Structure 1
């Protein structure tokens, strides 16, 4: 599915959030690799589950054609700086919900890009018969957890010792959900 482009100006940065286009595929492939190096908040290490340009083109095309999916990008300073996805299911028993995921280049943290991605996704979900949004977050990502709670997400469970990070320690994953009011 597609949404209207929207401009933002937050803490000195002007950026746009819009639906991903197939022409973004090459840049998205590069962006994802860079973000994977910058943070351990995601499931992947650098280079794991690599998506090349062709894979991103297929993903964008499928998400655009599917009313249960939403693929957004943020553009600033003449380049893509982050993306988010809501992915639904074709299974009838799960068709009422979507899984939300987000990533933003570290240099662009603090400009509320992740928050705007989530707000746009919530608005989209609430207006497209989606009853529940779900996500998972690393226990140490306190900034994200505060944001999720502020926007109506509640903790639904904890996956104990779920991820092994570079420091050799295991960390919990917090599973959160938001039910449409």
Structure 2
């Protein structure tokens, strides 16, 4: 699905949130690897589950065509700095929900980019009959958990000892959901 572009002005930077387009594929491939290497909050190590340009072109095409998918990018000065996806499940019993994920370059944390990607996704979901949004978050990512709670998500469960981080310790994954009744 496609949304209208939205402009934001936040603490000395201006950025746009818009739907991903085919020409973003190359930048997305590079950006995803960079973001994965900047934080342990995501599921992947840098370079794992690599998606090449063709792979991103296909994801963008699919997400544009499917009514329960949404692929957004955040752009600062014509440079991609983050992205988010909502992916619907196309089995009848799960057709009411989408799964949300977000990635933002560390250098632009604190400007509300992740929050606004999520808010745009929530607005899209609410206006398109999506009854539930789900996401997973690392238990130590307290800022993200607080943001998600502030935007209506609640903790639905915990996957115990779900991830091993660079310190060799196990960490839990928090499963959260937001309901649109």
What TM-score, normalized to structure 1? 0.99
Listed one character per residue, the Cα deviations across residues 84-115 of structure 1 (whole Å, up to 9, x for unaligned) are: 00000110000000000000000000000010
Which residue in 2 is equivalent to 1:32?
A: 32
What TM-score, normalized to structure 2? 0.99
Which residue in 1 is equivalent to 2:110?
A: 110
RMSD: 0.6
Which residue in 2 is equivalent to 1:178?
A: 178
Deviation of 1:77 (Å)? 2.8
Which residue in 1 is equivalent to 2:129?
A: 129
SS at match of 1:67: coil
Deviation of 1:11 (Å)? 1.3
1:154-169 → structure 2 map (5 Å cutoff): 154-169=154-169
| Matched residue count | 181
- For residues 19 and 86 of structure 1, the distance between their equivalents in structure 2, rounded to whole angstroms, comes to 12
- For residues 11 and 150 of structure 1, the distance between their equivalents in structure 2, rounded to whole angstroms, comes to 21
Deviation of 1:149 (Å)? 0.2
1:26-65 → structure 2 map (5 Å cutoff): 26-65=26-65
Which residue in 1 is equivalent to 2:68?
A: 68
Deviation of 1:78 (Å)? 2.5
Which residue in 1 is equivalent to 2:11?
A: 11
- For residues 116 and 178 of structure 1, the distance between their equivalents in structure 2, rounded to whole angstroms, comes to 16
Unaligned runs of 5+ in 1: none
Runs of 4+ in 1 over 6 A off after TM superposition: none
Listed one character per residue, the Cα deviations across residues 25-79 of structure 1 (whole Å, up to 9, x for unaligned) are: 0000000000010001000001110000000000000000000100000000331
Deviation of 1:12 (Å)? 1.1
- For residues 51 and 155 of structure 1, the distance between their equivalents in structure 2, rounded to whole angstroms, comes to 30
- For residues 178 and 34 of structure 1, the distance between their equivalents in structure 2, rounded to whole angstroms, comes to 29
Listed one character per residue, the Cα deviations across residues 121-157 of structure 1 (whole Å, up to 9, x for unaligned) are: 0000001010000000000100000000000000000
Which residue in 2 is equivalent to 1:147?
A: 147
